[in-house]
Copies of this chain bind each other. A is one copy, B any other.
């Protein structure tokens, strides 16, 4: 199956970096004595919570949209999202001078709907569920000729997300391990391509909630496994691994480990308390993995990509 896929490469990440320069932020890398002591390693946190729209998702959306021809972009962009990708597409489209439509389930939190609108996106509601959502997107593409930018199973998205790891490895070149959470796999696959190129001997480790462990199961079985029915607090990771992302992950990722909900919430809170930064639950998944799995990182230098900081301050998980 994956032999049909045209997979992005290091060159695509270099081009992505040029496309998003001046639009995306080069985010800082933070360290923490507390977590170093707790883990017994040197940790380097790439802070995509400080990225535009508050999440790494802006990198991929911006790259995919900036790569369109003026004719394509002029037709307008469409995507579906109940989270950060919708905001990222809305802002990236506006910055490139294009319109954007975001299909959202009609039970979306109002704050997320308003965020898309604030960035200039038009929201179209559909009934919850992937089938109705995909049908709504297809109908609108048919009617208006919009260009569909999916959230992760797309070479331009993957290459854009890979720019975060590229920056991290340029700032901290001698990492032994690089970790990212995995949901649809856009971030992990882009991270893996960048890391394997810049630091061939590095260990690339994905981390996933045990309650949404389709990527870990697919990684073990060697074929795309169905989504887990259970829910996770890490709302950014409820998606199912994409075929393109899986092909890259199989080739370049060393391991995918899983963590408990309790550890995610505990370490999310610990980062707020100790590092004084606002992170979403997904960010805490790699840190929780270091606590709950024997990853043998003692004395090593470990990069962790913090995915974003968009949380509902009225509904914190503790």
Chain A residues proximal to chain B, CB less than 8 Å:
28, 49-50, 54, 269, 272-273, 275-279, 309, 313-314, 316, 318
Contacts and interface: CB of A to CB of B under 8 A. Distances in A.
Contact of A28 (B28, B273, B279): B28
Contacts of A50: 275-276
A313 B28 contact: no
Q: Which 7 A-B pairs have the closest CB atoms?
A: A276-B309, A276-B278, A49-B276, A272-B278, A277-B277, A50-B276, A276-B277
Contacts of A313: 269, 272-273, 316, 318
B276 A54 contact: yes
13 contacts: A28-B28, A49-B276, A54-B276, A272-B313, A273-B313, A276-B277, A276-B278, A276-B279, A276-B309, A277-B277, A278-B278, A313-B316, A314-B318
Contacts of A54: 276
Nearest to A316: B313
Contacts of A276: 49-50, 54, 277-279, 309
A202 B224 CA distance: 62
Contacts of A309: 276
Nearest to A318: B313
Stoichiometry (number of copies): 2
Contacts of A314: 318
Nearest to A306: B276
Contacts of A272: 278, 313
A115 to B, nearest CB: 10
A1 to B, nearest CB: 39
A308 B234 CA distance: 28
A54 B32 CA distance: 12
Contacts of A28: 28
A237 to B, nearest CB: 19
A279 B279 CA distance: 14
A309 B309 CA distance: 16
Contacts of A278: 272-273, 276-278
A7 B168 CA distance: 46
Contacts of A318: 313-314
A277 B313 CA distance: 12
Given A276-B277, A276-B309, A313-B316, 15 more contacts: A28-B28, A49-B276, A50-B275, A50-B276, A54-B276, A269-B313, A272-B278, A272-B313, A273-B278, A273-B313, A276-B278, A278-B278, A313-B318, A314-B318, A316-B316
A22 to B, nearest CB: 13
- Most chain B CB inside 10 Å of its own CB: which residue of A269, A272, A279: A272
A278 B276 CA distance: 5
A269 B314 CA distance: 10
Nearest to A272: B278
Contacts of A269: 313
A60 B314 CA distance: 35
